[in-house]
């Protein structure tokens, strides 16, 4: 009989990997969690907006919350804006580094062994085991387990026998500045601001704001232009010039299950194409992945055929939502500034706000189809 140091190997101690590991360990499964960085939450690039719905559903760590989000303002290219105010928090702005650490702490407290500074450089799977080769400071070691979960974020590209290559992705570029007093989350639209996408200002710790954007190309130049624009420049008190930039997939990968293997979170492309947000959908999929693995241990069945249920389940919940997001992104990227202006103006006058209020922070399908069916036909495409 094979000896396994761990029943399950999870690769990547981001929120999705640590949460999956936590759910498995809580059920008595022996989990080894491998993280390439020396500390959890090191050098993360994220705005840290997580909906209240997500926070409540997964009992996420309150001590990582910086502030609630109650006001959102979206600016059209001409400077018009639409504002949404809520009495109650719609979402929270969190310190992502602390957030990742807290979730990992929960995993470790439930019995997970986290290996820090342990970069997985090879992943393999056979009918007999899941196997990884890990490089740490002084050594290179091989680990086997019954099942493996890949939660490496975008870095999954090419790691697993070249099976996956993200073709559809954008760049998320962001910086933190000493900013004017502001408690709104602000979104800016326009070809000259964030071509085909949007940029944001998000208040963070007192007096600071995260300013960033999602774009297809030239992320650093686009962000510099935005910071120097009349919209932002007069409001910035000081800036250290440091920017972080990372790719964000906007479409799920072809297949998220293999023999003894599941792929979860950003690594699987379980990300909203509209905003690039991946934490909520990643955690939903983590829950489904953990339940699938728990069942596979009960039935002693780790075959690809058995694990397929994971993909069926997450697609049932998220597929139409993800597709709607992509449709909107494709339409939006083709609109001129004039058309975006018209769209925002129509949205303002044409009753889209009640739909936004009812849809919730994370579920955009209804708003997207409303816009396509109701607002778009109103001469939006005539420039
Ligand atoms: C600028 C920007 C802003 C964003 N803002 C938001 C937001 O406001 N809200 C939101 O929900 N989402 C946001 N996102 C997306 C969000 O950051 C990701 O969806 C989320 O981090 C995905 O979590 P994950 O656990 O799947 O992957 P990750 O958080 O990427 O975690 C993967 C982990 O795996 C480790 N790893 C990678 N390769 C290896 C390896 N070979 N061996 C061992 N370990 C490895 C990494 O070091 C990392 O710790 C933003 C993204 C960007 C770029």
Give distance in angstroms: CA of 280 to centre of ligand 1: 12
Beta bridge partners of 245: 173
Task: Confirm or reject: Cβ of 219 under 6 Å from ligand 1.
Answer: no
Measured in degrees and rounded to the nearest 5, phi and psi for residue 132 equal -130, 155
Give distance in angstroms: CA of 156 to centre of ligand 1: 11
Which pLDDT score, from 0 to 100, does residue 164 have?
Answer: 63
Integer CA distances (angstroms), 119 to 12, 251, 252, in order:
9, 26, 24
Give distance in angstroms: CA of 20 to centre of ligand 1: 14
Q: CB neighbours (10 Å) of residue 321?
A: 18
Contacts with 298 (C-beta within 8 Å, 6 or more apart), sequence order: none
Task: Confirm or reject: Cβ of 191 under 6 Å from ligand 1.
Answer: no
Measured in degrees and rounded to the nearest 5, phi and psi for residue 138 equal -110, 0
Where is pLDDT greater, at 84 or 119? 119
CA atoms 173, 175, 180, 183: torsion sign: positive
Give distance in angstroms: CA of 344 to centre of ligand 1: 31
Where is pLDDT greater, at 154 or 93? 93
Which pLDDT score, from 0 to 100, does residue 180 have?
Answer: 93
Protein residue closest via CA to atom 38 of ligand 1: 152
Task: Confirm or reject: Cβ of 16 under 6 Å from ligand 1.
Answer: yes
- Report d(CA 199, CA 215) in Å as an integer: 9
Torsion region of 43: left, alpha or beta (phi above 0 gives left; psi -120 to 50 gives alpha) = left
Question: Which residue bears the tokens 């085991």?
Answer: 129
Q: Which atom of ligand 1 is nearest to the CA of 173?
A: 1
For the cut 60, the answer to whether the pLDDT of residue 219 exceeds it is: yes
Which pLDDT score, from 0 to 100, does residue 220 have?
Answer: 96
Task: Confirm or reject: Cβ of 249 under 6 Å from ligand 1.
Answer: no
Which pLDDT score, from 0 to 100, does residue 195 have?
Answer: 87
Q: What is the pLDDT of residues 153-185, one digit of tens each?
A: 988 666 665 566 677 899 999 999 999 988 889
For the cut 80, the answer to whether the pLDDT of residue 349 exceeds it is: no
Beta bridge partners of 143: 132
Q: Which atom of ligand 1 is nearest to the CA of 134?
A: 42
Q: Which atom of ligand 1 is nearest to the CA of 48?
A: 8
Q: What is the pLDDT of residues 58-92, one digit of tens each?
A: 999 999 999 999 999 999 999 889 888 888 899 99
Tell me the pLDDT band of 3, cut-offs 50, 70 and 90: confident
For the cut 80, the answer to whether the pLDDT of residue 355 exceeds it is: no
Which pLDDT score, from 0 to 100, does residue 284 have?
Answer: 98
Q: What mean pLDDT is reported for the chain?
A: 91
SS3 32: strand
> What beta strand segments (E) does the chain contain?
8-11, 31-34, 49-51, 65-69, 71-75, 81-85, 91-94, 113-115, 119-125, 130-135, 140-145, 147-150, 169-179, 185-189, 198-203, 208-215, 236-249, 257-258, 261-263
Percent of the chain having pLDDT more than 70?
92
Give distance in angstroms: CA of 1 to centre of ligand 1: 37
Question: Residue 122, CB half-sphere, CA atoms under 13 Å: how many?
Answer: 11
Q: What is the pLDDT of residues 276-303, one digit of tens each?
A: 999 999 999 999 999 999 999 999 999 9
Residue ranges and CATH numbers for the domains of the chain are 8-46+96-167+250-324 (3.50.50.60), 63-92+170-245 (3.30.9.10), 325-375 (no CATH)
- Report d(CA 222, CA 230) in Å as an integer: 14
What is the best residue among 9, 14, 158, 204 to mutate for testing ligand 1's pocket, by most ligand atoms within 8 Å of CB? Answer: 14
Q: What is the pLDDT of residues 225-266, one digit of tens each?
A: 999 999 999 999 999 999 999 999 999 999 999 999 999 999
Q: Which atom of ligand 1 is nearest to the CA of 119?
A: 42
For the cut 70, the answer to whether the pLDDT of residue 376 exceeds it is: no
Task: Confirm or reject: Cβ of 257 under 6 Å from ligand 1.
Answer: no
Integer CA distances (angstroms), 247 to 137, 171, 189, in order:
27, 4, 20
Measured in degrees and rounded to the nearest 5, phi and psi for residue 135 equal -105, 125
Give distance in angstroms: CA of 14 to centre of ligand 1: 6
Q: What is the pLDDT of residues 317-345, one digit of tens each?
A: 999 999 998 988 888 888 889 888 887 88
């Amino acid at each position: 009989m094979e000896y396994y140091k761990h029943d399950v190997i999870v690769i990547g101690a981001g929120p999705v990997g640590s949460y999956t590991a936590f759910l498995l360990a809580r059920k008595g499964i022996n989990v080894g969690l491998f993280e390439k960085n020396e500390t959890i939450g090191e050098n993360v690039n994220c705005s840290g907006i997580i909906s209240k719905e997500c926070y409540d559903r997964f009992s996420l760590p309150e001590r990582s919350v910086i502030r609630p989000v109650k006001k959102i303002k979206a600016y059209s290219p001409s400077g018009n804006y639409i504002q949404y105010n809520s009495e109650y928090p719609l979402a929270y702005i969190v310190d992502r580094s602390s957030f990742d650490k807290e979730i990992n702490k929960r995993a470790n407290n439930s019995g997970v062994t986290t290996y820090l500074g342990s970069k997985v450089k090879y992943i393999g799977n056979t009918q007999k085991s899941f196997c990884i080769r890990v490089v740490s400071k002084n050594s290179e070691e091989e680990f086997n387990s019954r099942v493996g979960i890949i939660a490496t974020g975008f870095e999954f590209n090419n790691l697993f026998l070249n099976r996956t290559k993200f073709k559809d992705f954008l760049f998320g570029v962001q910086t933190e500045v000493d900013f004017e007093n502001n408690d709104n989350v602000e979104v800016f639209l326009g070809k000259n601001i964030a071509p085909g996408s949007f940029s944001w200002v998000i208040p963070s710790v007192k007096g600071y704001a995260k300013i960033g954007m999602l774009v297809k190309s030239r992320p650093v130049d686009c962000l510099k232009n935005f910071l120097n624009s009349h919209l932002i420049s007069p409001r910035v008190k000081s800036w250290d010039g440091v920017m972080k930039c990372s790719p964000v997939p906007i479409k799920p990968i072809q297949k998220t299950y293999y023999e003894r293997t599941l792929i979860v979170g950003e690594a699987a492309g379980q990300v909203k194409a509209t905003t690039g947000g991946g934490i909520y959908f990643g955690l939903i999929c983590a829950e489904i992945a953990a339940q699938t693995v728990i069942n596979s241990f009960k039935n002693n069945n780790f075959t690809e055929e058995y694990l397929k249920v994971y993909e069926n389940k997450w697609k049932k919940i998220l597929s139409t939502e993800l597709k709607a997001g992509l449709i909107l992104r494709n339409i939006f990227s083709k609109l001129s500034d004039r058309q975006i202006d018209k769209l925002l103006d129509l949205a303002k006058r044409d009753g889209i706000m009640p739909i936004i209020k009812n849809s919730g922070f994370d579920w955009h399908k209804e708003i997207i189809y409303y816009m396509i069916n109701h607002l778009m036909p109103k001469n939006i495409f005539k420039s």
